[in-house]
Amino acid sequence: MPDSVQPPQVEIFDTTLRDGAQTEGISYSADDKLRIAHKLDELGVAFIEGGWPGSNPKDAAFFEQARTQQWKCAKIVAFGATRRAGLQPADDPSVRALVESGTEVCAIFGKSSVLQVKEVLRTTLEENLKMIEDTVAYLRGQGKRVIYDAEHFFDGYRAEPAYALQTLQAAVKGGAETITLCDTNGGSLPWQVEAAVREVIAQLGRVPVGIHAHDDTGCGVANTLAAVRAGARHVQGTINGYGERCGNANLCIVIPNLELKLGLSTLPAGSLAHLHEVARFVAEVANLAPNVHMAYVGDSAFAHKAGVHVSAMQRHPDAYQHIDPAVVGNAMRVVISELSGRANVVSKAGERGFENIDAATSVKVIEIIKAKEHEGYSFEAAEASAALLVRRLAPDYQPLFTLRDYRGMVSRHGTRTLAEATVKLSIGGHEVHTAAEGNGPVNAFDQALRKALQPLFPQVKDISLSDYKVRILNSNTGTAAVTRVLIDWHDGVRRWSTVGAGPNILDATWLALADGYEFILTPAAKPKPMGEST
């Protein structure tokens, strides 16, 4: 870090690549880990824990490649355990792997709980203290900076406080630069964490104290904030709260709380505005759907659905928001639904190029939305279909095309399945009749519609369906249930979403397909740019 840059008041230690990789359903490749590490480095975290060197080929490949790359802010950290009972650190392969990882910083964990020492390690309390001190001292002797993670500290402290504190003193005696207190089972509550951290800081004096909280009681973030209130200045956690079982303290929530609510610096100036981007990036690399309802960085964190809320916010942006969403790289959104008021319609119409919507039009749109949502539609995630409701009420509205009829056929010939669709449209006063095959009825309908539209609208070739979702609404009626179809679209520059619903899945699909093409091919359309929150 350049001399002119002030160090943060709270160090952020990111363990997305190690603890976060223990999430059920996540399996990072070495390249995945490098991509995420560089994104975290750009964000400006102080430490990035890369994994267990020597434990598996992926982590070995990560550390080998990380050694050859440039890092702007972060220190790459190798993770491991204290030496095994009865061995010297130099004779323990896992400890030697830490040395060979090539990182400047190592994080090692040791046992703080009498129960864990006796029942899991099956060694003596005295030997455990030596294991901690010896391992830290050995790594320090090899030129490493050492962060000591006191595993099961809070459980051990509640059961045998004197011994739990002795384990910390052993790490300090060995030369650890930071002592991190781990709520490994995630069972502690904020007031317990705060009291314990205060006592540890009083006992250790000048040695920095950190917190590593799991979320098994839903208190991972609260416990982290409680520890910082008590004086902890080193915080461990993961992006999006990923981690084993219920996950770890979510840095996407912890960091803005520390910065915006407690007034403590954690990242370089200006970095907080990239938090939404980082959260989505990590979710995409992890191949998990982003949590849209996550505080601060979720796409719904600043989405407003109730008409009363939207109306109030048009008068003052703080009426129903605790911060300016742009501070964390997010954006305010207005959602259209059966709960909408006139303010929702006016706001959304303005976004899509329809200015000065009169009261009568907005009331009519609300009536239509409520009726359609009663039928099974949902316009929250289908803003293009909502915009078309406004457009179709305009006195000069002319439909881009009108469906005369369609026919779909699915058949099987031996091992080959055939889907065919025909559509008959009226476009500009002319009748167009096309047919196409596809790998299923949806694909066949899409191909037939493209064939009809492309001669007049060449840009159709650039339009793609990026997602097709089907939801059965009243499943208790079995195969007679109402089906909702939601389609996400993009043309390489912009993206938009449409919806259709009805008891006939092909009708529902047709409605969503037709809306998608009409919306983007009509000049008034103003879809969101690619990458911008919808």
42 Ramachandran zone, left/alpha/beta (phi>0; psi -120 to 50): alpha
* 167 and 233 together in one domain: yes
pLDDT at 386: 80
Helix (H/G/I), strand (E/B), else coil: 246: coil
Name the burial class of residue 2, with classes exposed (0-12), middle (13-18) and buried (19+) by CB atoms within 10 angstroms of its CB: exposed
> What dihedral do alpha carbons 407, 413, 415, 420 form, nearest 10°?
-20
Q: Is the pLDDT of residue 448 over 70?
A: yes
Cβ–Cβ under 8 Å, residues 242 and 286: yes
* 309 and 278 together in one domain: no
The answer to whether residue 150 sits within a structural domain is yes
Cα 183 to Cα 193: distance, rounded to the nearest angstrom: 9
* 339 and 439 together in one domain: no
Range 435-454 average pLDDT: 91
Q: Is the pLDDT of residue 345 over 60?
A: no
Cα 433 to Cα 476: distance, rounded to the nearest angstrom: 38
* 313 and 226 together in one domain: no
Highest mean pLDDT (candidates 3-12, 60-69, 404-413): 60-69
Query: For the domain that residue 122 is a member of, what is the CATH number?
Result: 3.20.20.70
In Å, how far from its chain's centre is CA 464?
25
Q: Are strands 483-490 and 75-81 parallel, antiparallel or unpaired?
A: unpaired
pLDDT band for 533, please (50, 70, 90 cuts).
Answer: very low
pLDDT tens digits, residue range 191-215? Answer: 999 999 999 999 999 999 999 999 9
The answer to whether residue 294 sits within a structural domain is no
Q: Are strands 178-183 and 209-213 parallel, antiparallel or unpaired?
A: parallel
* 95 and 165 together in one domain: yes
Query: For the domain that residue 408 is a member of, what is the CATH number?
Result: 3.30.160.270
Q: Which domain holds residue 370?
A: 303-391
Up-side HSE of residue 35: CA atoms within 13 Å toward CB? 12
Which is higher by pLDDT, 81 or 289? 81
Name the burial class of residue 491, with classes exposed (0-12), middle (13-18) and buried (19+) by CB atoms within 10 angstroms of its CB: middle
Of the candidates 298, 284, 334, 251, the residue with the CA atom closest to the CA atom of residue 44? 251
Please provide the average confidence, as pLDDT, over all residues in the chain. 87
Rg over CA atoms, the chain: 29
Of the candidates 417, 420, 473, the residue with the CA atom closest to the CA atom of residue 442? 420
* 67 and 106 together in one domain: yes
Q: Is the pLDDT of residue 310 over 50?
A: no
Cβ–Cβ under 8 Å, residues 330 and 324: no
Percent of the chain surpassing pLDDT 90: 60
Cα 217 to Cα 220: distance, rounded to the nearest angstrom: 7
pTM for the model: 0.71
Q: Is the pLDDT of residue 410 over 60?
A: yes
Cα 191 to Cα 481: distance, rounded to the nearest angstrom: 50
How many folded domains does the chain comprise?
A: 3
Which is higher by pLDDT, 339 or 256? 256
Q: Which of 299-303, 504-508, 527-531 has the lowest mean pLDDT?
A: 527-531
Of the candidates 244, 121, 233, 98, the residue with the CA atom closest to the CA atom of residue 178? 233
Asked which of 350, 369, 391 is the last residue of a domain, the reply is: 391
* DSSP conformation letters of 29-50: -HHHHHHHHHHHHHHT-SEEEE
pLDDT band for 356, please (50, 70, 90 cuts).
Answer: low
Strands (E), 473-534: 483-490, 494-502, 528-529
pLDDT band for 185, please (50, 70, 90 cuts).
Answer: very high
pLDDT tens digits, residue range 4-18? Answer: 557 789 999 999 999
496: Cβ contacts below 8 Å, ≥ 6 apart: 383, 384, 488, 489, 490, 516, 519, 520, 525, 527, 528, 534
Q: Is the pLDDT of residue 267 over 70?
A: yes
* 384 and 419 together in one domain: no
* 235 and 160 together in one domain: yes
pLDDT tens digits, residue range 103-145? Answer: 999 999 999 999 999 999 999 999 999 999 999 999 999 999 9
